[in-house]
């Protein structure tokens, strides 16, 4: 290919590229011109609409003004005719002026609409206003009326339902024991497994050894037993450890002087003290008792609000501080006075959660008790324990018992734990009974502890 041919090709390529560039530039110019024309048309249309809107609003303003003037003249029929004509003339002139101002100065739409609302309100008839007042009155009263108090579930119904729930909780503790004890010939390893199972279930070392010794003695006497007989033997031994005949009643009855009964709730953080206090109030209301709640947990911001929510559902008043961080003993004192003034049957005082190794906080519990006792004797101190904490709960129980004198235990979250043996160990160590158990998150999922139902639940019956 010679030089002239190459040059020709290059020139042709340059011409093609130039033509493409020119076409692109021309297309962009046409597009920009069309966009400008469209914007201009839109602006013109918008201006036309705004002008029409302004005129329409001015007309409506004039009509409303004339209507107001006519109503005023009708109410003043005793005025001379000359004054009436003068008022109408002034009204017409005002409407004309409004129209002129609206068209010439372009008053904003917001101002015009505000004027229309004011004029329309002026032209309302007394009959309309009276009708609106009558219509709104009952609605306001209905909105202000308090919601009716809930009716909590009764004690017997709770026991039946919670017993059924415990039996369905698939507690592996009883199943493991039953699986070993139904073997034909138990070896030494089997007996060690039984003891380990009991200890892992937080029954406690001493109680576990005692149960194993009794089972060994029974096995020597009755070498061959059916599964039903084995289960009956195990049930009897567990009931003995739990304490079937132990008095678990709450001291919630008035004394001879007709004083309200006082219950103080204590425990570490996160065990569910406030929730248990609210559920306990529901239980007492279901029994027909009048209750006052004292929100002496002044450290957790939402504690008093939470307690008020529980109380509002069943019509129970709550005494609380007016600010966070207030002296809890002062709140407890005020709650005691409120219970006396209200002639309540029971006062339940919720306290702040605290670690058992904080000596100053534990001393504060003693102060709360002493202050309350200046008004009323304290009948119950319930330690709220989380069943899932296991043997750590025993350490908590001992320290709280020394600080304030625990009289009973409320065991929460029992349905979500394989550590049910803590019922046995806490009673043996402290000498105080488990009085309440929680088996769920429902408002009525708290009931008096039922030893037979608990053991049957462990064994899967």
Residues 6+ apart with CB under 8 A from 101: 107
352 belongs to an annotated ligand binding site: yes
Phi then psi dihedrals of residue 273, to 5 deg: -60, -50
65 is annotated as contributing to ligand binding: no
- Distance CA(149)–CA(259), nearest Å, equals 25
Phi, psi values for residue 386, rounded to 5° = -85, 120
Structure tokens at 147: 């919601």
Tell me if 27 is assigned to a ligand binding site: no
Residue 344: what are its φ and ψ, rounded to 5°?
Answer: -75, 160
C-alpha 307/C-alpha 300 separation (Å) is 12
Q: Is 353 known as a binding-site position? A: yes
Q: Nearest CA to 411 among 242, 223, 294?
A: 242
354 is in an annotated binding site: yes
- What is the secondary structure of 253-293 as a DSSP string? S--TT-PPEEEEEE--TTS-HHHHHHHHHHHHHHTT--EEE
110 is known to lie in a ligand binding site: no
What is the chain's Cα-based Rg? 42
Q: For residues 172 and 197, is the Cβ–Cβ distance under 8 A?
A: no
Residue 351 annotated as binding site: yes
Contact criterion met (CB below 8 Å) for 180 and 197: yes
Does residue 283 have a known ligand-binding role? Answer: no
* Strands 380-386 vs 408-412: parallel, antiparallel or unpaired: parallel
205 is in an annotated binding site: no
130 in a labelled binding site: no
User: Cα separations (Å) of 164 from 276, 444, 453?
Assistant: 21, 15, 8
Q: Are 410 and 436 in contact (CB under 8 A)?
A: yes
Contact 442, 418 (CB under 8 A): no
165 is in an annotated binding site: no
Q: Is 274 annotated as a binding residue?
A: yes
- For residue 51, say whether it is annotated as part of any ligand binding site: no
Distance CA 281, CA 294 (A): 11
Residues in Cβ contact with 422 at an 8 Å cutoff, skipping those fewer than 6 apart: 202, 385, 387, 389, 390, 391, 393, 394, 411
Q: Which residues pair with 347 in a beta bridge?
A: 262, 292
SS3 225: coil
User: In the sheet where 408-412 sits, what is the strand order?
Assistant: 318-319, 291-296, 346-351, 261-266, 380-386, 408-412, 434-438, 446-448
- State yes or no: 388 annotated in a binding site: no
Tokens of 175: 């199943």
User: Is residue 414 part of an annotated ligand binding site?
Assistant: yes
Q: Could you tell me which residues are annotated as the binding site for GTP?
A: 267-274, 350-354, 412-415
Q: Could you tell me which residues are annotated as the binding site?
A: 267-274, 350-354, 412-415
């Amino acid at each position: 290919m010679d030089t002239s041919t190459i040059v020709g090709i290059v020139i042709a390529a340059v011409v093609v590229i130039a033509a493409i560039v020119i076409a692109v530039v021309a297309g962009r110019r046409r597009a920009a011109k069309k966009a400008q024309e469209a914007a201009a048309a839109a602006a013109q249309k918008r201006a036309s609409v705004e002008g029409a809107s302004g005129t329409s609003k001015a007309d409506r303003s004039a009509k409303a003004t004339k209507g107001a003037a006519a109503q005023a003249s009708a109410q003043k029929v005793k005025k001379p005719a000359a004054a009436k004509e003068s008022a109408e003339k002034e009204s017409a002139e005002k409407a004309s002026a409004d129209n002129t101002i609206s068209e010439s100065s372009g008053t904003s739409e917001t101002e015009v609409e505000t004027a229309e609302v004011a004029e329309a309100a002026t032209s309302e008839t007394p009959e309309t206003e009276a009708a609106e007042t009558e219509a709104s009155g009952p609605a306001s009263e209905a909105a202000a009326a308090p919601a009716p108090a809930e009716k909590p579930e009764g004690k017997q119904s709770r026991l039946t339902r919670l017993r059924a729930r415990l039996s369905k909780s698939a507690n592996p503790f009883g199943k493991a024991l039953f699986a070993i004890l139904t073997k034909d010939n138990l070896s030494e390893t089997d007996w060690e497994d039984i003891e380990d199972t009991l200890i892992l279930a937080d029954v406690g070392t001493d109680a576990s050894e005692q149960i194993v010794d009794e089972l060994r003695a029974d096995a020597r006497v009755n070498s061959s037993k059916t599964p039903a007989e084995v289960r009956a033997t195990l049930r009897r031994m567990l009931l003995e450890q739990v304490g079937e005949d132990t008095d678990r009643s709450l001291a919630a009855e008035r004394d001879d002087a007709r004083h309200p009964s006082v219950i103080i709730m204590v425990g570490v953080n996160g065990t569910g003290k406030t929730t248990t206090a609210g559920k306990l109030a529901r239980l007492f209301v279901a029994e027909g008792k009048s209750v006052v709640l004292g929100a002496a947990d002044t450290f957790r911001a939402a504690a008093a609000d939470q307690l008020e929510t529980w109380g509002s559902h069943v019509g129970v008043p709550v005494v609380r501080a007016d600010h966070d961080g207030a002296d809890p003993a002062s709140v407890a004192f005020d709650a005691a006075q409120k219970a006396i003034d209200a002639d309540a049957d029971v006062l339940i005082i919720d306290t702040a959660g605290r670690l058992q190794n904080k000596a100053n906080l534990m001393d504060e519990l003693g102060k709360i008790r002493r202050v309350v006792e200046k008004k009323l004797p304290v009948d119950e101190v319930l330690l709220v324990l989380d069943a899932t904490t296991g043997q750590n709960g025993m350490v908590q129980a001992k320290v709280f018992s020394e600080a304030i004198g625990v009289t009973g235990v409320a065991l929460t979250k029992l349905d979500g734990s394989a550590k049910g043996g803590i019922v046995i160990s806490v009673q043996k160590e402290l000498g105080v009974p488990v009085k309440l158990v929680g088996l769920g998150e429902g408002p009525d999922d708290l009931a008096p502890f039922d030893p037979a139902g608990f053991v049957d639940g462990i064994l899967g019956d």
